[in-house]
Amino acid sequence: MENQKEEELKQIIAENLSTYRKNNNLTQAKLAEILNYSDKAVSKWERGDGLPDIFILQQLAELYHVTVNDLISKKQKKKVPTLKNKLIITLLSIGIAWLTAVVLFSILSMIKSNINADWDFLWLFFIYPIPISFIIALVFAKIWGKRWYRFFIVSGIIFGTGLAIYCQIIIFPNITGAWLIWIICAAIEVLNVLWYCLRRKKKGGCKEIIF
């Protein structure tokens, strides 16, 4: 009876490990690289031929944003959105930001034409959504656990914000030196790279972009 329960537990854990890995769009080889294990070990766990130790289960729970109990329980499995659904949700959220910008641009353009106002700043409504889009992407990357995206997204936030500030400055002809914004952005990007390297130092340096 005990052997039967042990085998059932192995199969439950094996099924959960396989399901969560696939839902997070990871191959066995990629997961093995993250855990510093061989892909044969991962394959063995997912076949039910062996069990990962509690330390590995904790790492997997953190990686998949679930609890250890979710990994070893059949009834409390957490549903994880598929990669396609994650992408659609993220793009819809970004689309709302751009739609808001278009609506504001259209409304202000109509007001401008009716009152003959000299509003040369309206084109900025198509610049501001750029950094906002990256910020939204970063929020969802945190939610979905896509760590390796975050380095690039943060870079997008840095230079997207720099572009918005640069465009804001150049509409004022009396202000010079707007190009200095890009030097500031470059300096912040260096800090971004250093921060990434510092976070990865304990895992062997900057071999993999996991911010």
**pLDDT number for residue 92:** 94
**pLDDT number for residue 211:** 39
**pLDDT number for residue 207:** 47
**pLDDT number for residue 93:** 92
pLDDT digits (tens, 9 = 90+) for 154-165: 999 999 999 999
Fold of the 2-72 domain: 434 Repressor (Amino-terminal Domain) (1.10.260)
Which of 16, 200, 46, 117 minimizes the C-alpha distance to 210?
200
**pLDDT number for residue 205:** 47
Q: Please tell me the number of Cα atoms within 13 Å of 84 on its side-chain side.
A: 0
Residue ranges, the chain, pLDDT below 70: 1-3, 75-83, 117-118, 145-148, 199-211
**pLDDT number for residue 86:** 79
**pLDDT number for residue 127:** 92
Do 13 and 48 touch, CB atoms closer than 8 A?
Answer: yes
Tell the residue number behind the tokens 């793009």, with chain if given: 91
Q: Which pTM was predicted? A: 0.54
**Can you tell me the distance from the alpha carbon of 151 to that of 116, in angstroms, rounded to the nearest whole number?**
45
List where CATH 1.10.260.40 sits in the chain: 2-72
Instruction: Look at residue 181 and give its three-state secondary structure.
Output: helix
**Can you tell me the distance from the alpha carbon of 22 to that of 2, in angstroms, rounded to the nearest whole number?**
30
Return the structure tokens found at 13: 């854990």
